[in-house]
Structure 1
């Protein structure tokens, strides 16, 4: 994995934390309507997603007969005009959450990912193995890593939209 991916992970996470860092408990947990997630729920979804992505990457990496997959057009995830239904496993709870709880969850999922990633001796092996993504099908594990920050960028835009409604 290139340094730029690690930089993207760090930069995106910093942007996310800055977006939510000064919000009150009420602002974090306010839902514009019954069908829309609160900012805290969006963050809980990001925590759940990063945790699931990490588990999927580890699973794909540890598969003995793991197959190589073609790269997928994952950049589409950044397009907020494309509505995407979250799989059940990453639908957030109802909350409410304190800012400190949100930050703790996000730190926990990132630490889990980095612990796995940093112990990899051959990071290029991530491009050689794959596992199935619910939206994109089988895709290389290095694209799962890219999706962590691309998905987070998508939801930073959503948080900005939600903040404008407060």
Structure 2
């Protein structure tokens, strides 16, 4: 995937994500749906934890690989777009139940995504991240981490829309 295409995809995804979150009023942002699950605030906290971690991984040491740098994209794309299958977050990326300020969360997400965008140009995206393996998908390249962030947030955009219609 060419860097200009990746930058565009990340920018469009970020705009959609922030717009979707903006639809929640301040008083509904922390409301848990009647059928359970996460509030919009908890989804945002989860995305901040995941994407913030991805940004740290993008700056970590990478090594050469013996496969194409985007080989795992179809695997996690399929899983992230299976909206009927529930996935449970692991402890480090599970949100707490504390109330959150919507504007602060939006600002944090925007900042993280801006840092991710700048790293697209600054880093060799073909390198394998060796400091952490994804719990489901194993070792990912920097390219795969960025594309994962896009598809992961698409999954949560879908979830946010469901939350909005339920509350």
In the alignment, what sits opposite 2:93? 90
Closer, same or farther: CA 87–19 of 1 in aligned 2, 3 Å: same
Runs of 4+ in 1 over 6 A off after TM superposition: none
Query: Could you tell me how far apart the structure 2 residues matched to 1:106 and 1:142 are?
Result: 19
- C-alpha distance 141-69 of structure 1, shift in aligned 2 (>3 A): farther
Q: Is the 8 A contact 1:69 1:140 kept in 2?
A: no
Find the counterpart in structure 1 of residue 76 from structure 2.
74
In 2, are the aligned partners of 1:51 and 1:109 still within 8 Å (CA)?
A: yes
State the TM-score, normalized to the length of structure 1. 0.84
Task: Work out which of the residue numbers 91, 106, 110 in structure 1 matches 2:109.
Answer: 106
Equivalenced residue count is 158
CA deviation vs aligned residue, 1:124-147 (integer Å, no higher than 9, x gap): x32242442111011222111101
Q: Point out where structure 1 has 5 or more consecutive residues left out of the alignment.
A: none
TM-score scaled to structure 2, two decimals? 0.84
Q: Give the gaps of 5 or more residues in structure 2.
A: none
Superposed counterparts of 1:96-135, under 5 Å:
96-120=99-123, 125-131=124-130, 132-135=133-136
Q: Which segment is superposed worse, 97-106 or 43-52?
A: 97-106
Q: Deviations over 1:93-127 (max 9, x none)?
A: 2231222111111122123323433333xxxx322
Residue aligning to 2:19: 18
| 1:69–1:53 Cα change, 3 Å | farther
State the SS of the aligned residue for 1:138. coil
**Distance 1:141-1:157 versus aligned 2 partners, 3 A rule:** same
Corresponding residue for 2:53? 52
Q: Distance in 2 between matches of 1:146 and 1:11?
A: 13
Partner of 1:160: 161
